[in-house]
Chains A and B, each alone.
Chain A
Amino acid sequence: MSLAVSLGMLISGAVFEKREKYRTFAQGLLGGGWAALYFTVYAMQSIDAARVIHSPLLGAILLLAVATGMIVHSLKYRSQTITGLAYFIAFGTLGITQVTPLSVLAVIPLSASLLYVSQRFDWKNFALFGLAATYVICATRGDNGAPLWQVQALFATYWLMFEAFDLLRPHRAMLPANALGFLTLSIAAWLSRAPHQIWELLAAVSIAYLAGAILRARSDLWRPPITLTAALAAAAIFLKLDYQWVAVALLIEAELFYLAGVRLNAPYLRNLATGLFTIELGHLIVRTLPDQTPRAWTPVAIANVVVFYANRAIRSADIYYGYAAAAMMALIAGFDAPHHDRGLAWMVLAAGPFLVGWRWRQVDFRIQAYCLAALGPAGMAFGWPEPPLSMGIGAAIAYAATLCALRSKEDRFSAGEADALRGMGSLFATCLAAGVVWHFVPLQYLGLGWMALAVILLELGMRGWPEDFRRQSYALAVLGAGLVVYSNLVPISNAGPWGPRFAPAAAALLAYAIAARARKEEGGRVLDIATFIATGFLLTGLWALLPPVAVGPAWAAVALVLMEFDLPTLTLECHLVSIAAFARLFFGNFDEEQHLMTALTVVPVLLSHYFLWSHTKQRFYLYTAATLAAVLARFEMGRVLTTSGWAVLMVALLYAGRRLRIRDLSWQSYALAAMAFGRCWAAYFYSPDMFAGFAGPVFIGSTVIACLYAAQLLSDLDGHPRLYFSVLASLLLAVLLYDRVSGSLLTVAWGVEGIALLCAGFPLHDRVLRLSGMGLLMVCILKLFLWDLRHLDTLPRILSFIVLGLILVGVSWVYTRFREVLLGPAGRPDTHPEAA
């Protein structure tokens, strides 16, 4: 009944379809008829209540027949929707029927017919629908346990069918969709049947897609299949191989792609190669390197270097291969070179790219070399202590590069590159040479070693080999000097072994050498700084080497020599050193037990100060020299006897001052006169350590007084100095008489002194002497009446009165007798010697 209804609807539909008026109604009858027929046939075999066909195969054939009828009928309408609906029902039929070889194989013609229809009517998306339906039907059916070859053959058929269609009627989504479906189903099948051989599947598919790519070579659609080829091959490699062999295989695959890309002039292939190289390097570094000993990965890494440089050579535009090669070399050296030689290895490796880059003017190679070279010192720093040979070779390489930059033509390097290379190369060479010195020279003398190296570098710099060494030598010299201060000056002792005591002097010589060689550089600042440092070292060295008493004269000798150069800086240093020598004498010489040694060491210093004054005209030298003389007299002659020395010195200075017209010397003589007077009066000319008895104070007093009178005579008649010296001398004479003459005869003694002063004042036309004498006589009169009358015995008192009376009478007569002579023609007494 159902069949009849179905057929009736189909026939009615076919009849009414011809009439325009009932066409819509007729199409409804046709669609409903096919649906009812399809369901009726399905129910005949699959629904128990309606089952009349017991053979599944027969049922399936009938269903497929109905489906085929529907498809064929649909083609009449040229409607992609209607035909698609029909095919959907057909594929659905295969999906709902029991799995049989027929139902499996039936997909093939169904799909083939769909592809044909698609191609016939140029329905572009229709094939894609068929592809999806095919693989979905296969997937929904699940695993029926068939052998792998059968399953894979079926999938391969599907794949081949769609791949062929894609070759004929290319569609953007067809190839990836086909690959996705095929690989998903295949991998699922292999996972359940031969999971360890999946790489074979991938390799085979890779080859298949390679073929597909080749077939598509003339079109623009070869990129997806070749990408799949590369990816699948890489996947196969990863699944099949282990550790470094993965890298080897990937390297080969990548290189093949690169070569193909170069050969075919296909950037896409070269990019694929780049990707593969990247994966290979990533695997090599991330996976292989940590797990394997360095020796296992080294050949692969070297192969990488060779391949990369080969690629750089094959195609010069691909400069990044050169960088990659250099990086690989750096890695190889970093991991394979011994710890202490790593820095050297990088520097030696840098030489290769540099030579290539320099010889063929390839800037990228030179950049590689610079990068590698920059790693060298870093490696040496981290690998410290680096063997000296390594650092020496490194320094030689750096210096060779420096000379290369210096001597090469301009076109060998880009703008500014030669300067930078020269600067950095020389800096590396300096640092490494300093490192070599560090190794060979004991730490205690390292500062000296660096300063010596600085001298050599300075010489090279001054000669222009290259000029950069000059400033580097300054820095190295400053470092060395700092180390000398730290290692040699701070812990220095003047009683230890000789070696460390010589170090500052040696450092001074080196610093002077630098100063001499670079005296005109940097506006003379090098000379200034170096000589200051050198002089400081020299003074310290002399202090350490000489006994304390010899240090002062040695420093004075240094000052003298410094002055001789007649340079402003050295003259300033001369002054400072002279002051230091002057001060030093107070520490180590004046208190010396051996008095002869004191004089022997102080006198030359004193003379040197006078000489320095004569040359520099710095007045303070006059004062330091006079101070030394006065202090020397104090310590050589004792506290009191020194007054005689001071007095003699006072006269000498006054004479020299007047003769040479140097007022400073005159001022010094005034000061010495005051000092001698004060000391004599304070000590009453007596010193217990003289053992001279009565003669001692008399000798001292007479010497000082005589010198003061001599100074008076040397001074101008109408000047204050004359009055000053005269008063001091007369007072001191009175003090001496007070100390040495007993109380009863003191008035007589002072009276005699007064008359003596008067007598001297007349022939010398010296009013000060005469007034002093009269003043003293006045004191005598006062003393006579106020003291002697009360305290003296009768006889001395009478004697005092008589003598003093006679003296006063004599003085009165003399003044009356020679009054005209004293007043002179102008009536103004004693203003000039000619007034007499």
Chain B
Amino acid sequence: MKRRLLFVLVLLMLIAATVVASLGSRRGEVSLASLRQLWSDTIRDIDQPGLRLTRLSAAEEMQLGANVLNSVSWPEDPVAAARVERIAQPMLPHVHRTDIQYHFHVVQAGMINAFALPGGQVLVTDGMLAFVQSDDELAEVVGHEMSHVDLRHCVEHYQYQYRLGSLVELFHRLAAMPYSSDQELDADAEGMRLAIAGGYNPAAGPVLFERMQKEMHESAGSPATTPAGELAHSLGEALASYFRSHPPSAERARRLRGLARSAHGAGG
């Protein structure tokens, strides 16, 4: 009798879940992103002991960053760099790694981009400066790049090369590919945290990425509607995401929107 009751109870739960999910869910895309995420988590955890053992000091990292920066000659815009530095100033007190000295550069390149080098070297292109429509949006960009430094993402790409040689670094980069996108999402979140701490509007982040999605013509693609299509799409997407360094702008906007909402809730 008790077993029968349990059966009915579990069955009703399953049916209720099915009904509620059918009524309340938007038609989401089917993918193997969850498995990719689990795999990425695992690789990332496994990677940590090696990274801890080969970690660079702050001084070594800053020297490395300066060397990398000097190895390439970029035409810079000191006036624009001053604006970037002004934007970054309110966020600097809130970084974790206070022993890193940040330097901000604006390089003249048509593309919309920004990137960071180890040791606090943050570079923003003039194309990005032209693309952002407010200081809040620029703060999101700069905060994102600072976060890469603060979370050691930048230096982790050079650690093995610095300590063990280029060949080891090559293998490490291949192994670390799955969580490259996760590092971007982490930097997005950390950058938003810095922006909020610096007094900027967190809502600018998702707006920026939504606009970037349109600018870069990133199409979401139509979802697969057949079983074989679902499987092929899922496998293809999982394979593509394995080698993708940045997640799609739509996903970044979605996650940032969620973070902004929770940050607003926590603040309010």
Task: Using A557-B18, A639-B41 as known contacts, say yes or no to A607 and B31 having CB atoms under 8 A apart.
Answer: no
Are the C-beta atoms of A611 and B10 separated by less than 8 Å? yes
Stretch at the interface among B22-30, B79-87, B111-119, B161-169: B22-30
Are the C-beta atoms of A588 and B30 separated by less than 8 Å? yes
In whole angstroms, how far apart are the Cα atoms of A245 and B22 in the complex? 81
**A575-605, CB under 8 A of B: which get 1 and which 0?**
0000000000011111111100100110111
Q: Interface of chain A, helix or strand or loop or mixed?
A: helix
Within 8 A of A (CB), among B89-118: none
In whole angstroms, how far apart are the Cα atoms of A588 and B185 in the complex? 21
**A490-501, CB under 8 A of B: which get 1 and which 0?**
011111100000
**A649-680, CB under 8 A of B: which get 1 and which 0?**
00000000000000000000000000000110
Task: Using A560-B14, A600-B20 as known contacts, say yes or no to A549 and B6 having CB atoms under 8 A apart.
Answer: no
Are the C-beta atoms of B7 and A611 separated by less than 8 Å? yes
Residues of B near A639 (CB, < 8 A) are 41, 182
A615 near B: Cβ within 8 Å? yes
Task: Using A491-B226, A600-B21, A634-B41 as known contacts, say yes or no to A586 and B34 having CB atoms under 8 A apart.
Answer: yes
Cβ contacts A to B, 9 pairs, < 8 Å: A550-B25, A553-B14, A587-B30, A590-B34, A591-B28, A591-B34, A593-B28, A597-B25, A607-B10
Residues of A near B7 (CB, < 8 A) are 560, 564, 611
Stretch at the interface among A311-319, A401-409, A525-533, A539-547: A539-547
A801 near B: Cβ within 8 Å? no
Smallest CB-CB separation from A542: which chain B residue? B18
Are the C-beta atoms of B11 and A557 separated by less than 8 Å? yes
Are the C-beta atoms of B186 and A560 separated by less than 8 Å? no
Task: Using A492-B227, A560-B11, A594-B25 as known contacts, say yes or no to A604 and B34 having CB atoms under 8 A apart.
Answer: no
Are the C-beta atoms of B234 and A587 separated by less than 8 Å? yes
In whole angstroms, how far apart are the Cα atoms of A687 and B182 in the complex? 11
Are the C-beta atoms of A635 and B34 separated by less than 8 Å? yes
**The one of A549, A554, A604, A615 that contacts B3, using a Cβ cutoff of 8 Å:** A615
Residues of A near B14 (CB, < 8 A) are 553-554, 556-557, 560, 604-605, 608
Task: Using A495-B225, A543-B227, A593-B254 as known contacts, say yes or no to A550 and B34 having CB atoms under 8 A apart.
Answer: no
A561 near B: Cβ within 8 Å? yes
In whole angstroms, how far apart are the Cα atoms of A353 and B21 in the complex? 66
Number of interface residues of B (CB under 8 A): 54
Residues of A near B33 (CB, < 8 A) are 591
Within 8 A of B (CB), among A321-352: none
Task: Using A557-B11, A608-B10, A681-B48 as known contacts, say yes or no to A550 and B21 having CB atoms under 8 A apart.
Answer: yes
Residues of B near A170 (CB, < 8 A) are none
**B206-238, CB under 8 A of A: which get 1 and which 0?**
000000000000000001011100100010000
Residues of B near A604 (CB, < 8 A) are 10, 13-14, 16-17
Are the C-beta atoms of A607 and B48 separated by less than 8 Å? no
Distance of A678 from chain B, by nearest CB (Å): 5
Most buried by A among B30, B190, B263: B30
In whole angstroms, how far apart are the Cα atoms of A591 and B190 in the complex? 22
Task: Using A604-B13, A607-B10 as known contacts, say yes or no to A549 and B226 having CB atoms under 8 A apart.
Answer: no
**A375-387, CB under 8 A of B: which get 1 and which 0?**
0000000000000
In whole angstroms, how far apart are the Cα atoms of A635 and B31 in the complex? 15
Smallest CB-CB separation from A494: which chain B residue? B225
Are the C-beta atoms of B22 and A550 separated by less than 8 Å? yes
Smallest CB-CB separation from A678: which chain B residue? B45
**The one of B20, B28, B37, B225 that contacts A496, using a Cβ cutoff of 8 Å:** B225
A825 near B: Cβ within 8 Å? no
Are the C-beta atoms of A548 and B28 separated by less than 8 Å? yes
A688 near B: Cβ within 8 Å? yes
Residues of A near B68 (CB, < 8 A) are none
